[in-house]
């Protein structure tokens, strides 16, 4: 029996039936396309379904909480304080990660993340962005590194949602392709110069044809909604441009809230 769970994006879930439970989902998109809003939708859905969730983000936690409350009407603070979610931030990562820069996290940090997931009984992991875990400069080791990373989450039996910046170099495209090959469901989010956003399903394991791109807006109180929806009349928000931890410091984990 095929087991699915809702991703948390209504127009996606209605057409696809959600995503495969205990398998990864990859969302790739350029700066400003709404990847962080997608991550918050996933977190909200996990809490709604009673799943134990973990969100690791490069966002300033105060900004993340404000955006979540305003755009989705969902309180990250309440979810964390109730124990329904664990919110972690990357500390010391640059605002706009670049694949060619040395932003890879050390193995000890990954072991720490796995320990947190296992100790808290997390069943849904959202990592926005996955780049520091998978970006290594040695091209000959990249395939094995990415395979090991994906396998680690498969072994833990969690539904994992990874966001990834749009690639801008040959090595970054190689990384994206490797992740896509190992991920059952892959999504691309885009935004053009006029601010029009689209969501495309590039891969859905078991399906032969992909639906056409869906144009959407980010509306206050509703989040990601199709442009034809009446709910899309809210104010559009650029979510990828908020202040993030400054570069130049060692990369480490930090809890976004004192009690998490």
Domains (range + CATH), the chain? 20-92+100-240 (3.40.50.300)
Task: Give yes or no for residue 228 having a pLDDT over 90.
Answer: no
127: nearest Cα among 80, 165, 73? 165
What mean pLDDT is predicted for residues 60-76? Answer: 89
* CA–CA gap between residue 150 and residue 96 (Å, rounded): 23
Each residue's pLDDT tens digit, 183-226: 999 999 999 999 999 999 999 999 988 999 999 999 999 999 99
| Alpha-carbon distances, residue 175 vs 78, 110, 155, 209 (angstroms) | 36, 18, 21, 24
What mean pLDDT is predicted for residues 15-30? Answer: 96
Compute the 3-state secondary structure of the chain and give helix, strand, coil in percent, each to the nearest 5: 35, 25, 40
CA 112 centroid distance within chain: 19
Query: What does the pLDDT read at residue 105?
Result: 65
What mean pLDDT is predicted for residues 63-78? Answer: 92
Query: What does the pLDDT read at residue 60?
Result: 75
- What's the pTM? 0.85
CB 11 within 8 A of CB 4: no
Each residue's pLDDT tens digit, 90-143: 875 444 444 434 456 667 888 899 999 999 999 999 999 999 899 888 889 999
Each residue's pLDDT tens digit, 148-184: 999 999 999 999 999 999 998 899 999 999 999 999 9
């Amino acid at each position: 029996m095929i087991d699915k769970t809702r991703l948390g994006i209504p127009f996606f879930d209605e057409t696809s039936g959600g995503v495969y439970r205990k398998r990864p989902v990859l969302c790739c998109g350029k700066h400003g396309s709404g990847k962080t809003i997608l991550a918050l939708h996933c977190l909200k859905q996990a809490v709604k379904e009673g799943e134990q969730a973990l969100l690791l983000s490069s966002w300033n936690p105060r900004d993340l909480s404000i955006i979540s409350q305003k755009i989705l009407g969902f309180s990250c603070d309440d979810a964390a304080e109730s124990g329904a979610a664990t919110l972690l931030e990357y500390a010391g990562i640059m605002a706009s990660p670049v694949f060619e820069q040395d932003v890879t996290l050390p193995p000890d940090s990954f072991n720490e993340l796995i320990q947190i997931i296992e100790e808290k009984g997390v069943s849904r992991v959202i990592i926005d962005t996955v780049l520091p875990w998978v970006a290594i400069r040695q091209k000959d080791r990249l395939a094995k590194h990415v395979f090991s990373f994906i396998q680690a989450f498969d072994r833990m039996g969690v539904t994992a949602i990874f966001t990834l910046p749009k690639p801008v170099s040959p090595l970054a495209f190689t990384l994206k392709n490797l992740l896509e090959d190992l991920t059952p469901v892959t999504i691309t989010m885009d935004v053009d110069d006029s601010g029009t956003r689209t969501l495309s399903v590039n891969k859905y394991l078991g399906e032969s044809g992909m639906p056409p791109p869906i144009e959407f807006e980010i509306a206050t109180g509703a989040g990601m909604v199709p442009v034809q929806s009446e709910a899309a009349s809210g104010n559009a928000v650029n979510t990828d441009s908020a202040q993030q931890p400054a570069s130049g410091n060692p990369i480490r984990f930090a809890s976004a809230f004192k009690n998490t």
